[in-house]
Amino acid sequence: MIRIGQGFDVHAFTDGDHVMLGGVRIDHTRGVDAHSDGDVVLHALCDALLGCLALGDIGVHFPPSDPQWAGADSRAFLRQVKAMIEERGYRVVNVDVTVMCEAPKVKPHADAMRDCIARDLGLTPADVSVKATTTERLGFTGREEGIAAMAVALIQSHSA
């Protein structure tokens, strides 16, 4: 049996000197306003994986109202979500993420993100797609007010 899920996340830019994307620290002229490290790639990916099994969303499992998640590394979220999937008899097959922003540039960091995500999910980089697009200067991402990501994930039952 296979299951598919999709996820989306967005964070506004704020004062700072870097963003976390796909588990990779990227120098930038701004940071993101978030309770955890604000990694939109991993947050969208967690939501996609949780969606595969109708397990709610990242806010249900790692609520921003809980102080234990303040400044948390989103890779810990991803590893915990992977464990939840495996506990239910499934394994992650592949994932695909698109980042939407004018800056920072994602392409120079895409391979490092793929490697990081692959390690945390027990995949090969060939099973992880990370790409980016601008919004042609339209909307909040086009005005460089924030950053967004969407993700799709495929999981498969161990018995399949």
Q: What pTM value is reported for the model? A: 0.95
- What pLDDT was estimated at residue 160? 61
Strand 31-32 versus strand 24-27 pairing type: unpaired
CA distances from 155 to 3, 7, 127 (A): 5, 14, 12
- What pLDDT was estimated at residue 116? 98
Tokens for 32?
């993101």
Task: Give the residues of the chain that fall short of pLDDT 50.
Answer: none
- What pLDDT was estimated at residue 115? 98
Q: Give the sheet arrangement for strand 31-32, strand by strand.
A: 31-32, 2-14, 146-157, 90-100, 128-133
- What pLDDT was estimated at residue 37? 95
- What pLDDT was estimated at residue 49? 98
Give percent above pLDDT 90 in the chain.
92
In DSSP terms, 100 is beta-bridged to: 133, 148
Buried b / exposed e along 74-109 (16+ C-beta atoms within 10 A): bbebbbebbebbeeeebebbbbbbbbbbbebebeeb
Give the integer Cα–Cα distance in Å for 71 and 84. 22
